[in-house]
């Protein structure tokens, strides 16, 4: 397993991280333990969760129990901001909410600090200055080591960078956004902003929820038990399981196959080879999937291969 600095910071993260949104929702504690154990055995040190994952904090609870005494050997990343309760203080990025949300996450994780604390989504009701100052206070108090954001745009990344400089507070070192060979919107503004301001990207849904494993076929129903078969019926499924994407998939499979690789290898390695990517966040429900994801990101594509793949998936 390779490690790299996350953004312009000294925090070293594994090239592949484990997305913990399945914990407490699609898998129980026993299965969670198996996934976490396998990840650590393979050298994966980044575990990304959120207070809303698993329903009301169950993912955080499962992750904390699964790590046990190994907690200090890994990077625990969690998020706040999504709806966790009713009323004006059940979500958001205000100082009042952040302080309470952090304490709740610390309790569920069974730890006294969070390595990477991320705002899950922009909060238009709260001034960004207030959010940054509150997070800076958590860093100074030792309850948080680094901070990041999720689902921010390029201009919001630039804005928070300048505000952090202006006020002399802790800057964001990471951005977590959807990014894959078939969802490339971030390349227009966010990716350049990440490069400019030293922010490391943590792509989520790197396999487009399993689409880039090749298990979905054009004109066929999504298999039972899969994400598209369960969660993503409707707009998300239509956005992904369409003629355009199946056409791209066929070209990518041919490219990878000609080089004795799978499209899974290509999807993970293409992301890992991007200069602004810190770690590729991939979910798993069983140890075998963790192993596949970890090995898939080891293909070192040449500049020429990267350019060709970019063209195929344009």
174 lies in a domain?
yes
Domain containing residue 173: CATH number: 3.20.20.100
Q: Is residue 78 part of a domain?
A: yes
**Does residue 166 fall inside a structural domain?**
yes
pLDDT averaged over every residue in the chain = 94
220-259 pLDDT, tens per residue? 766 666 666 555 556 667 778 889 999 999 999 999 999 9
The stretch 76-101 carries a mean pLDDT of: 95
232 falls within a domain: no
Q: How many CB atoms lie within 10 A of CB 34?
A: 18
User: Domain containing 52: what range?
Assistant: 3-208+267-301
Domain-embedded: residue 252: no
Percentage of the chain beyond pLDDT 90 is: 87
Asked if 268 and 179 touch (Cβ cutoff 8 Å), the reply is no
Give the total number of structural domains in the chain: 1
Q: Is 114 strand, coil or helix?
A: strand
Ramachandran sector of residue 151 (left: φ over 0; alpha: ψ -120 to 50; beta: rest): left
| 216 occurs within a structural domain | no
pLDDT at residue 234, rounded to an integer: 62
Counting beta carbons within 10 angstroms of the beta carbon of residue 97, is it exposed (0 to 12), middle (13 to 18) or buried (19 or more)?
Answer: buried
| CA dist., res. 227 & res. 243, Å (int) | 19
Q: Does residue 29 lie in a domain region? A: yes
Average pLDDT of span 159-180: 97
Residue 309 located in a structural domain? no
Using the CB atoms, write b or e for 165-185: b if 16+ within 10 Å.
eeeebbbbbbbbbbbbbbbee
- Which residues are tagged catalytic? 53
Rounded to two decimals, what is the model's pTM? 0.94
């Amino acid at each position: 397993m390779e490690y790299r600095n996350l953004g312009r910071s000294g925090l070293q993260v594994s090239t592949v991280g484990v997305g913990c949104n399945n914990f407490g929702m699609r898998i129980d504690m026993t299965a969670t333990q198996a996934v976490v154990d396998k990840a650590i055995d393979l050298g994966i040190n980044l575990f990304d969760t959120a207070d809303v994952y698993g329903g009301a904090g169950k993912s955080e609870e499962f992750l904390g129990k699964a790590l046990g005494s190994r907690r200090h050997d890994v990077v625990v990343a969690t998020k706040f901001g999504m709806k966790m309760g009713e009323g004006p203080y059940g979500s958001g990025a205000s100082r009042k909410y952040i302080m309470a949300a952090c304490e709740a996450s610390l309790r569920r994780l069974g730890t006294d600090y969070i390595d990477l604390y991320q705002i899950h989504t922009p909060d238009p009701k709260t001034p960004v200055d207030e959010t940054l100052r509150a997070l800076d206070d958590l860093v100074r108090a030792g309850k948080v080591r680094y901070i990041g954001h999720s689902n921010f745009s390029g201009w919001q990344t630039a804005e928070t960078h300048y505000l952090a400089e202006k006020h002399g507070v802790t800057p964001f070192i990471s951005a977590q956004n959807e990014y894959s060979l078939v969802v490339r919107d971030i390349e227009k503004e966010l990716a350049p902003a990440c490069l400019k301001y030293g922010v490391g990207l943590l792509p989520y849904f790197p396999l487009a929820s399993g689409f880039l494993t090749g298990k979905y076929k054009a004109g066929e129903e999504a298999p039972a038990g899969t994400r598209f078969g369960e969660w993503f019926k409707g707009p998300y499924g239509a956005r992904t399981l369409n003629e355009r994407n199946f056409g791209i998939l066929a070209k990518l499979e041919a490219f990878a196959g000609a080089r004795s690789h799978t499209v899974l290898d290509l999807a993970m390695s293409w992301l890992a080879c991007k200069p602004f990517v810190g770690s590729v966040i991939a979910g798993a429900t069983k140890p075998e999937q963790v192993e596949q994801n970890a090995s898939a990101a080891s293909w070192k594509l040449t500049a020429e291969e990267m350019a060709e793949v970019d063209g195929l998936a344009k």
